[in-house]
Amino acid sequence: MSIIFERNILYVKNRDILFDYNIEKVIETNGVFIVLLDIPTKDNTVNNIYGIANDDIIWRIQSYLKIDPHFKQTSYVHILKKEDNKIVAVDFCGCRFIVDPLNGKIIGRENSIR
């Protein structure tokens, strides 16, 4: 199924899903569309990744603060799909988090190679 979006609207089969911010990127894995929202630089919104299935938002990415309350959380700027269909979410500081695409839970961190 093709992924169509324009500005802050994701066009799915039976309805349009409207977000508060423009959509930066959408990828599909395991029947779930993973949506990364483009957060303006001066905005402090975090957890800007959503999972869409069956024409509905089924999850918003887990806050990393639930795992480590001392972590300085920033918005996500990139997503990619790994060969095992897990999602890697990269935040503004370059931290890479492994996300379960079925429920949005952070299941690990990945070291980046720069």
Taking residues 87-114, report their average pLDDT: 88
Q: Is the pLDDT of residue 69 over 80?
A: no
Q: Is the pLDDT of residue 104 over 70?
A: yes
Enter the pTM of the model.
0.89
Q: Is the pLDDT of residue 89 over 60?
A: yes
CATH of domain 4-110: 2.40.128
Per domain, the residue ranges of the chain are 4-110
pLDDT at residue 65, rounded to an integer:
73
Return the number of other C-beta atoms located less than 10 Å from residue 105's C-beta: 14
